[in-house]
């Protein structure tokens, strides 16, 4: 006789812990076959604010870790994901209704994405920085620095890859992140949180919320301690809305071309230029 499955409770990921929504709300997710899959948390404004507090307090430690260290931690995420591949494949198949082969490809691509961005961490100032030839006796150089706390609206499908594609570059640049999973396809993002929790990523650097993008959007837009937004999962109307509200603290708001490219890292970095006289 087979034993009954022990199903997972999908919760939020905030400050390195897995709390339920403070609001006590959940919503139902059905699989591609219309059968019940899970009741993930329906995150509230307060959950978002808690996530910002966690992200803000973790950010400087993450940015000040050596780039080599950050690179190794991103690589570690890939390692742990590899070990959990089958779980992700199963989850994606049930949720998206795609073939096992297609789901395996998606997981492999997500793992490769972590590896690709891992290698970027200690090359950013070589590629995007400069020593500037000013006309005078000055040493003058420009280096990229993390922007701060970035909110990410993940794409729906591909569910896992969509989340990784937006999260990995933001971490590579030394930012902390609040990933708002797709409303319809949230489950792999939460499982990704479990991977991150066991990959030496300091608590608070990554926070994952599930729920309605439309409900959280105005609060993300108006929060003065969110510095940037990736609008990948928002429609044009929602993008316009967050740009309007986000002007209050001049948030850096971006939508990227599909695929992986350093623009995804550098758009959430600031360039600092330092002058110093040369002389005796």
Partner 1 sequence: MSDFEYANAPESKAIANISPNYGLFIGGKFVDPKKGKSFSTINPATEELLSKVGYGDKSDIDAAVRSARAAYTKIWSKMPAKERGKYLYRIARIMQERAREFAVVETLDNGKPIRESRDTDIPLAAAHFFYHAGWADKLEYAGFGSKPKPLGVVGQIIPWNFPLLMLAWKIAPALAAGNTVVLKPAETTPLTALLFAEVCQQAGLPDGVVNIVTGDGITGAALVNHPDINKVAFTGSTEVGKAIARSISATKKTATLELGGKAANLVFEDAAVDEAVEGIINGIFFNQGHVCCAGSRLIIQENVADEVLEKLKKRMSLIRVGDPMDKNTDLGAINSKEQLNKIEEISKTGDAEGANRWSPDIKLPTKGFWYPPTIFTGVTQSHRIAREEIFGPVLSVLTFRTPAEAIEKANNTMYGLSAGIWSDKGAKVLWAAKQLKAGVIWSNTFNKFDPASPFGGYKESGWGREGGRHGLAGYLISDSKVNK
Positions in the binding site for partner 1 (CB under 8 A): 109, 116, 127-128, 130, 132-136, 138, 140, 142, 227, 240, 243-244, 246-250, 252, 257-263, 270-277
Q: Nearest CA to 266 among 163, 160, 185, 150?
A: 150
The residue among 87 and 140 lying less far from partner 1, judged by its C-beta, is: 140
The residue among 68 and 138 lying less far from partner 1, judged by its C-beta, is: 138
Per the DSSP assignment, residues forming a β-bridge with 38 are 29
In angstroms, rounded to a whole number, what is the distance separating the alpha carbons of residues 170 and 172?
Answer: 5
What is the nearest approach in angstroms of partner 1 to the Cβ of residue 108? 12
Q: What is the DSSP string of 2-16?
A: PPPP-PPP---BBTT
- Cα Rg, the chain, nearest whole Å: 20
What is the nearest approach in angstroms of partner 1 to the Cβ of residue 252? 7
The residue among 24 and 259 lying less far from partner 1, judged by its C-beta, is: 259
CA 106 to chain centre: 17
Whether 229 contacts 246, CB under 8 Å: yes
The residue among 23 and 222 lying less far from partner 1, judged by its C-beta, is: 222
What is the nearest approach in angstroms of partner 1 to the Cβ of residue 275? 5
The residue among 53 and 115 lying less far from partner 1, judged by its C-beta, is: 115
What is the nearest approach in angstroms of partner 1 to the Cβ of residue 128? 7
Structure tokens at 271: 């360039």
What is the nearest approach in angstroms of partner 1 to the Cβ of residue 242? 8
Whether 95 contacts 28, CB under 8 Å: no
């Amino acid at each position: 006789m087979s034993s009954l499955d022990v199903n997972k409770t999908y919760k939020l990921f905030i400050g390195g812990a897995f709390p339920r929504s403070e609001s006590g709300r959940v919503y139902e997710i059905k699989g591609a076959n219309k059968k019940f899959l899970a009741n993930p948390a329906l995150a509230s404004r307060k959950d978002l604010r808690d996530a910002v507090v966690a992200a803000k307090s973790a950010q400087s430690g993450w940015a000040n870790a050596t780039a080599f260290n950050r690179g190794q931690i991103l690589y570690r995420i890939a390692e742990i994901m590899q070990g959990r591949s089958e779980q992700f494949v199963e989850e994606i198949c049930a949720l998206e209704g795609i073939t096992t082969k297609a789901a395996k490809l998606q997981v492999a691509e997500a793992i490769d994405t972590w590896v690709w961005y891992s290698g970027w961490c200690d090359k950013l100032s070589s590629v995007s920085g400069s020593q500037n030839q000013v006309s005078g006796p000055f040493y003058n150089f420009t280096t990229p620095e993390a922007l701060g706390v970035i909110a990410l609206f993940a794409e729906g499908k591909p569910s896992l890859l969509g989340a990784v594609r937006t999260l990995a570059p933001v971490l590579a640049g030394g930012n902390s992140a609040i990933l708002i999973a797709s409303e319809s396809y949230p489950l792999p993002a939460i499982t990704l949180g479990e991977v991150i929790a066991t990959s030496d990523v300091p608590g608070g650097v990554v926070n994952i919320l599930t729920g309605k993008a439309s409900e959280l959007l105005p609060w993300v837009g108006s929060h003065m301690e969110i510095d940037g937004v990736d609008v990948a999962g928002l429609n044009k109307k929602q993008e316009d809305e967050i740009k309007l509200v986000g002007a209050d603290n001049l948030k850096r708001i971006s939508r990227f071309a599909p695929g992986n490219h350093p623009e995804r890292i550098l758009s959430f970095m600031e360039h600092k230029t330092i002058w110093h006289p040369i002389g005796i």
